[in-house]
Structure 1
Amino acid sequence: MVLSRFWLTIFIASIAFTVFALFSGDTYTIDSILNGKKDDPILISERYLNDTPSFIRDSIEKAPEKTIVIDRDTLNPDTTYVYKSKTVKLYSGVQKSDGLLPTCKNTLMDIILPLIAYLAFFCGLMELLIVSGASEKIAKWLSPVFAKVFPSVPKNHESISYMTLNFAANFLGLDSAATPFGLKAMQSLQEINPEKDKASDAQIMFMCLHAAGLTLIPTSIIGYRAAQNATNPADVMLPCIITSFIGTIAALIIVGIRQRINFFSATLLVAIMSVVAAIVGLLFYINGLDLIGKSFFTANLSGLMLVAIIGATLIFSFIHEKKFTEKETTIFDAFVEGSRNGIQTGVKIFPYVLAMLVAISFFRNSGLFEIISRWIAIGFSQIGIAKDITDSLPVAMLRPFSSGGSRGFMIDAMQNFGPDSFTGRLVCIFQCSAETTFYVIAVYFGSVNIKNTRYTLATMLLVDLICVVTAIMVASWFFVR
Structure 2
Amino acid sequence: MLNKLWLGFFLAAAAAALHRWLYIGDPEVFRQIVGSLFDMARISVEVMVLLFGTLTLWLGFLRIAEAAGLVEKLAVLLGPLFARLMPEVPRGHPAIGLITLNFAANGLGLDNAATPIGLRAMRELQTLNPSPETASNAQILFLVLNASSLTLLPITVFMFRAQQGAADPTMVFLPILLATSASTVAGLLSVALCQRLKLYDPVVLAWLGGAALLLGGFMAMLAGMSAVAIATLSSLMGNLMLFGILLAFLIIGAYKRVPVYETFIAGAKDGFDVAKSLLPYLVAMLCAVGVLRASGALDIALDGIRWLAHAIGWDTRWVDALPTALVKPFSGSAARAMMLETMSHFGVDSFPALLASVMQGSTETTFYVLAVYFGSVGILRARHAVGCALLADLAGVLASIAVCYWFFA
Q: Tell me whether the two structures share a fold, i.e. TM-score over 0.5.
A: yes
**Which amino acid is the alignment partner of residue 282 of structure 2?**
V
Q: Does the aligned pair in 1 maintain the 2:298–2:326 contact within 8 Å?
A: no
Residues 117-266 of structure 1: pairs in structure 2 closer than 5 A = 117-266=53-202
1:309-458 to 2 correspondence within 5 Å? 309-321=245-257, 324=258, 330-458=259-387
Residue 278 (structure 1) aligned to one of 209, 214, 219: 214
Shift of 1:189: 0.4
The answer for the alignment partner of 1:27 in structure 2 is: 27
Q: Structure 1's 15 and 331: CA in aligned 2 closer, same or farther, altered over 3 A?
A: same
Cα shift at 1:230? 0.7
Q: Secondary structure at 1:300's aligned position in 2?
A: helix
2:409 counterpart of 1:472? no
| Residue 13 (str. 1) matches residue 37 (str. 2) | no
Greater Cα offset, 379-388 or 182-191: 379-388
Shift of 1:29: 6.5
Shift of 1:315: 1.4
Secondary structure class of the residue paired with 1:424: helix
Whether the 8 Å CA contact 1:243–1:474 is kept in 2: the answer is yes
Aligned to 1:91: none
Amino acid paired to 1:400? P
CA contact (8 A) 1:381 1:390 kept: no
Contact 1:399/1:435 (<8 A) preserved: yes
Instruction: Give the equivalent residue in structure 2 for 1:107.
Output: 44
- 2:2 maps to 3
**How far does the alpha carbon of each residue in 1:31-85 deviate from its partner, in whole angstroms, 9 at most, with x for none?**
34333xxxxxxxxxxxxxxxxxxxxxxxxxxxxxxxxxxxxxxxxxxxxxxxxxx
> Structure 2: which 5+ runs fail to align?
none
Task: Give the structure with the larger helix fraction.
Answer: 2
User: How far did 1:27 drift?
Assistant: 2.5
One-letter code aligned to 1:303: N
Does the Cα contact within 8 Å between 2:106 and 2:151 map onto a contact in 1?
yes
Task: For 1:13 and 1:460, locate their aligned partners in 2 and report how far apart those are by CA, in whole Å.
Answer: 20
The separation in 1 between residues aligned to 2:383 and 2:32, in whole angstroms, is: 36
- What are the Cα deviations for residues 426-450 of structure 1, in whole angstroms up to 9, with x where unaligned? 1111111111111111111111111
Report the AA paired with residue 195 of structure 1: S
Q: Residue 278 of structure 2 aligns to a residue in which SS?
A: helix
Query: Number of paired residues?
Result: 408
* Cα shift readout 1:88-133 (whole Å, capped 9, x = no counterpart): xxxxxxxxxxx22122112212x11111211111111111111111
How far the C-alpha of 1:17 sits from its partner, in A, is: 4.2
Structure number, greater radius of gyration:
1
Which residue pairs with 1:80 in the alignment? none
Cα shift at 1:209: 1.1
Alignment of 1:83-94 (within 5 A): none
CA RMSD across the alignment: 1.6
Query: Residues 215 and 240 of structure 1 are in contact (CA less than 8 Å); yes or no, is this contact kept in structure 2?
Result: no
Structure 1 stretch displaced more, 394-403 or 277-286: 277-286
Gaps of 5+ in 1: 36-98, 325-329
The DSSP-based 3-state class of the residue aligned with 2:65 is helix
Deviation at 1:3, TM superposition (A): 1.6
SS of the residue aligned with 2:26?
coil
Q: Quick one: which amino acid aligns to residue 380 of structure 1?
A: A
Larger strand percent: 1
1:173-232 C-alpha deviation (Å, 9 max, x unpaired) = 111111111111111001011111111111111111111122210011111111111111
How far apart, in 1, do the equivalents of 2:358 and 2:387 lie? 22
Aligned counterparts of 1:247 and 1:13: Cα–Cα separation in 2: 26
> By how many angstroms is 1:340 displaced?
1.1
**What is the CA–CA distance in structure 1 between the aligned matches of 2:30 and 2:235, rounded to whole Å?**
44
Contact 1:377 1:393 (C-alpha < 8 Å) held by counterparts: no
